[in-house]
């Protein structure tokens, strides 16, 4: 049977009118979804969404999974500078337009990811002079927020400002935006975003703060110090995003991590967990044991972090194993079917895994927001 979503139809916005089929039987009792459980507690639950996945053979079921299970979508690729601006003369809005249309059709909120990120810059942009790069940063924020004004509930305005290995003052990540404006690029981006988006939650998003090791400690200390400097300067930041790409290869000291999250809350920010998943590469090979280990890490992590009421938003990085960035990334090292990564609450058939139950239980047990 030919796939019902033709390429032309999708490019013309056909997905927006795509009928979403009934949930598969694995959905369980009506209303029993992670999104519904979270909403009942006042927590926004979402997942990253890649609009090109809806063009694949699993496209309809992928769309149905999101429509059923979550309340919010984060654009995984569509709003990134490297995707939107492949060359100086092009602004490729079509994928982001399709994502917004799908979200609005399904009444899902959007988290816009991301406006300013020193690590995701196309080659032509790297060749700009300091002045040009500064001008382009401002113009990019104005162009993107201008086009989608009022349609996203949250924007990751600045992504991953910290990178100790770049040896910059404040452990800031090097790149054209830091070069253009110094540390002020961050406050400047937020101020500009606020003028165009008075109501959306403006988020500073950071990676690598979770682990119990020297890297985690450096990221936590550098981020807290940066947030204090930004608060002193009155940068209009509503929430701090913590990516939370968990891994079987790392250790976690959850009391230490929750103390860090509480400290962010004390500074007056909400906390969004923005990219939760679990790299299972070092867990047992046996699938049942591996799934159990992934579920346990989710249970421990969420049991601790969701106890903090300032955590108002929880987003997974994709929902199903076979559309995870880890699934695509590890294709070469883990090619055997039984070894493929299983980082998420749904498997490749979009059926619930033990992780789903662990996550649902953690949401049921958390205090309401």
**Which residues of the chain form contacts with ligand XIL (CB under 6 A)?**
76-77, 159, 207, 243, 275, 325
User: Minimal distance in Å, beta carbon 119 to ligand XIL?
Assistant: 8
Nearer to ligand XIL, 27 or 171 (CB): 171
Nearer to ligand XIL, 269 or 317 (CB): 317
Nearer to ligand XIL, 118 or 159 (CB): 159
Rounded to 5 degrees, what are φ and ψ at 357? Answer: -65, -40
Pairing of strands 311-316, 109-116: unpaired
Rounded (10°) angle between helices 254-266 and 287-305: 40
User: Minimal distance in Å, beta carbon 169 to ligand XIL?
Assistant: 23
User: Minimal distance in Å, beta carbon 8 to ligand XIL?
Assistant: 25
Nearer to ligand XIL, 59 or 161 (CB): 161
For residue 94, what are the contacts with CB-CB under 8 A and spacing of at least 6? 11
Nearer to ligand XIL, 278 or 299 (CB): 278
User: Minimal distance in Å, beta carbon 150 to ligand XIL?
Assistant: 23
Nearer to ligand XIL, 207 or 240 (CB): 207
Nearer to ligand XIL, 204 or 360 (CB): 204
User: Minimal distance in Å, beta carbon 131 to ligand XIL?
Assistant: 27
Nearer to ligand XIL, 277 or 366 (CB): 277
User: Minimal distance in Å, beta carbon 136 to ligand XIL?
Assistant: 20
Residue nearest to ligand XIL (CB): 325
Give the Cα separation of 235 and 150 in Å (integer). Answer: 20
Q: Which H helix or E strand runs over 207? A: none
Give the Cα separation of 341 and 319 in Å (integer). Answer: 13
Give the Cα separation of 252 and 239 in Å (integer). Answer: 23
- Joined together, the tokens standing for residue 177 give 């935006």
User: Minimal distance in Å, beta carbon 331 to ligand XIL?
Assistant: 13
For residue 165, what are the contacts with CB-CB under 8 A and spacing of at least 6? none
User: Minimal distance in Å, beta carbon 163 to ligand XIL?
Assistant: 12
Nearer to ligand XIL, 76 or 280 (CB): 76
Give the Cα separation of 162 and 158 in Å (integer). Answer: 11
Give the Cα separation of 138 and 185 in Å (integer). Answer: 10
**174 contacts 163 by C-beta, under 8 angstroms:** yes
User: Minimal distance in Å, beta carbon 326 to ligand XIL?
Assistant: 9
Nearer to ligand XIL, 193 or 203 (CB): 203
Instruction: Classify each residue of 203-223 as buried b or exposed e, where b means 16 or more C-beta atoms within 10 Å of its C-beta.
Output: bbbbbbbbbeeeebebbbebb
Q: Could you tell me which of 294, 296, 304 has the C-alpha nearest to residue 256?
A: 304
Rounded to 5 degrees, what are φ and ψ at 233? Answer: -90, 5
For residue 69, what are the contacts with CB-CB under 8 A and spacing of at least 6? 33, 34, 35, 47, 319, 346
For residue 40, what are the contacts with CB-CB under 8 A and spacing of at least 6? none
User: Minimal distance in Å, beta carbon 301 to ligand XIL?
Assistant: 17
**116 contacts 158 by C-beta, under 8 angstroms:** yes
């Amino acid at each position: 049977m030919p796939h019902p979503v033709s390429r032309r139809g999708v490019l013309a916005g056909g997905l927006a009118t795509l009928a979403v089929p009934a949930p598969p039987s694995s959905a369980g009792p009506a209303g029993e979804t992670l999104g519904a459980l979270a909403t009942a507690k006042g927590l926004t639950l979402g997942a990253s969404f890649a609009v090109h996945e809806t063009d694949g053979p699993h496209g309809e079921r992928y769309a149905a999974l999101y429509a059923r299970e979550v309340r919010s979508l984060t654009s995984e690729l569509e709003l990134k500078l490297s995707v939107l601006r492949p060359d100086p003369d092009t602004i490729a809005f079509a994928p982001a337009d399709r994502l917004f249309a799908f979200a609005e059709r399904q009444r899902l909120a959007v988290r816009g990811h991301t406006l300013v990120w020193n690590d995701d810059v196309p080659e032509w942009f790297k060749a700009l002079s300091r002045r040009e790069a500064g001008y382009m940063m401002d113009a990019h924020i104005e162009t993107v927020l201008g086009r989608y004004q009022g349609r996203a509930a949250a924007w990751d305005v600045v992504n991953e400002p910290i990178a100790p290995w770049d040896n910059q003052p404040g452990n800031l990540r090097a790149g054209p935006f830091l070069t253009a404006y110094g540390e002020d690029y961050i406050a400047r981006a937020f101020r500009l975003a606020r003028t165009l988006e008075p109501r959306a939650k403006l988020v500073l998003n950071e990676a690598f703060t979770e682990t119990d090791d020297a890297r985690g400690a450096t990221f936590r200390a550098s981020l807290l110090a940066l947030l204090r400097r930004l608060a002193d300067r009155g940068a209009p930041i509503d929430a701090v995003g913590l990516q939370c790409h968990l891994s079987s290869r790392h250790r976690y000291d959850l009391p230490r991590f929750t103390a860090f999250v509480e400290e962010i809350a004390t500074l007056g920010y909400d906390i969004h967990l923005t990219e939760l998943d679990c790299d299972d590469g070092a867990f047992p090979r046996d699938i049942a044991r591996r799934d159990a280990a992934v579920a346990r890490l989710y249970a421990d992590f969420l049991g601790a972090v969701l106890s903090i009421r300032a955590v108002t938003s929880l987003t997974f990085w994709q929902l199903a194993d076979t559309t995870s960035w880890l699934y695509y990334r590890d294709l070469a090292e883990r090619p055997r079917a039984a070894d493929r990564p299983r980082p998420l609450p749904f498997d490749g058939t979009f059926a619930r895994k033990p992780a789903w139950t662990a996550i649902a239980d953690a949401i049921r047990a958390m205090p309401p927001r």
